[in-house]
Structure 1
Amino acid sequence: MTEKVVVIYSGGMDSFTVLNRALKDGKQVYALSFDYGQRHVKELDCARTVCNKLKIEHKVIDISAINQLLAGSSLTDDIEIPEGHYEAENMKSTVVPNRNMILLSLAVGYAVSVGASQVYYGAHSGDHAIYPDCRPEFVMKMNDVCKIANYESVEIFSPYLTVDKTAILADGLAMGLDYSNTWTCYNGREKACGKCGACQERLEAFRDNNEVDPISYESSL
């Protein structure tokens, strides 16, 4: 019997690669996306398009009401998105308080309900400097809790936890993936800005792999 897994799928390039890695590993995938009031909600359109194309089970859950409790992030509040490198100090304004713990908890509940043994999510080493809930110690502790939180043990699995976005893209390219239906920019405009930390890290990954990013940007880069 094919092993069932839940994949937290934002619609970004990292989670897109994680989704396809799970499929490549022979898993039966249940994709789970969240609308938490992020200004780059356009990523959810990408997630829907991809899941429809792949014909996999996909749920988009509206949890935007929690923003009444989680103030202070430029991703969800009326705060300007910072520009600069992804690991710059000013990028800390993009941290959404406790986001991954909340999303993982919901995903684990879903995993229990469908009989899935794992929850995949796309934490990677490029996030470690800014995002505490993407660091190995968080993943390991969360994994410990999720193994005992229910009668059914669920593993938190981050296949790219110790590598950066360049390596993630390299794996995706090796799988023959098309990144035109992914969204990374923290600004939710028609085209990617190319200036925020998320865009810069994405573009750096494509340059490092000697590839051209297939999405459109607001200015030539």
Structure 2
Amino acid sequence: MKAVVLLSGGLDSTVCMAVAKEQGFELLPLSFNYHQRHNRELACARNVADYYKVKRHLVIETNMEAIGGSALTDNSITVPQGDIARPDIPSTYVPARNLIFLSYALGYAEVNRAEKIFIGVNALDYSGYPDCRPEFINLFQQVANYSTKAATQEGQEISVVTPLLHLTKREIVQLGSRLGAPLELTTSCYQGGDAACGTCDSCLLRLKGFAEAGISDPILYSSTRSE
């Protein structure tokens, strides 16, 4: 059994990879250099892939900087200070990112005859991105069932698996800890420094999850504001 795992180098994708490993899949991690403003997450993804001793860690380059429109790809847009209670979609949203990543993953899975695609999207403790919602995943699955030779000619549908979709950050941290996921190798920070900022949305959500789980976050922070 094979599974493509979308691996960003963050907390959620690493726990997602640990779930796929526990379920007995041969791991095919897939990461992206999408011309994000920093490469810290890619370095973390490589470290996580090395930890699991995968046969191949594929990194695809796709230039989302050219599209722009996000604080994660456009240097002219400031990464906002964290506000995990904000009602609107933050400027760190990258337009169509998960749609693009899942499309690559679908093709990679078909070529390698993988049965599953694991993605660590979460619809509870997250920043409000529209492509992390169950509605999006369900609709992509429908598209996937009609867009591959494997599904339409050979009857081998490739399933998108979202084991973290309905978990809180606390539950994700607890799950990762139970599975022995290398959380110390991950990053969640939008700023991309060697030490996480501790104040962006992603850092605040991560810190909240570890605090509620009663587990010490093993990565380094320049600030530990967690309110």
Q: TM-score, normalised by structure 1?
A: 0.93
* Partner AA of 1:34 in structure 2: F
Counterpart-to-counterpart distance in 1, 2:134 and 2:125:
10
Counterpart-to-counterpart distance in 2, 1:28 and 1:147:
22
The offset of 1:103, in angstroms, is 0.4
* Partner AA of 1:112 in structure 2: E
- In the TM superposition, what are the counterparts of 1:104-183 in structure 2 within 5 Å? 104-126=102-124, 130-152=128-150, 153-183=157-187
- Match of 2:90, SS? helix
The offset of 1:178, in angstroms, is 3.2
Provide the residue aligned with 1:60 in structure 2: 59
Runs of at least 4 residues off by over 6 Å: none
Q: Determine which structure has the larger helix proportion and give its number.
A: 1
Provide the residue aligned with 1:8 in structure 2: 6
- Match of 1:14, SS? helix
8 Å CA contact 2:39–2:192 kept in 1: the answer is yes
Provide the residue aligned with 1:28 in structure 2: 26
Provide the residue aligned with 1:194 in structure 2: 198
Q: How big is the alpha-carbon RMSD for the aligned residues of Structure 1 and Structure 2?
A: 1.5
* Partner AA of 1:75 in structure 2: L
The offset of 1:87, in angstroms, is 4.1
Question: How many residues were matched structurally?
Answer: 217
* Partner AA of 2:201 in structure 1: G
* Partner AA of 2:210 in structure 1: F
Q: TM-score, normalised by structure 2?
A: 0.90
8 Å CA contact 2:90–2:127 kept in 1: the answer is no
Stretch deviating more after TM superposition (5-14 or 89-98)? 89-98
Q: Which runs of 5+ in 1 are unaligned?
A: none
The offset of 1:108, in angstroms, is 0.3
Counterpart-to-counterpart distance in 2, 1:113 and 1:208:
41
Cα pair distance change 1:85/1:66, threshold 3 Å = closer
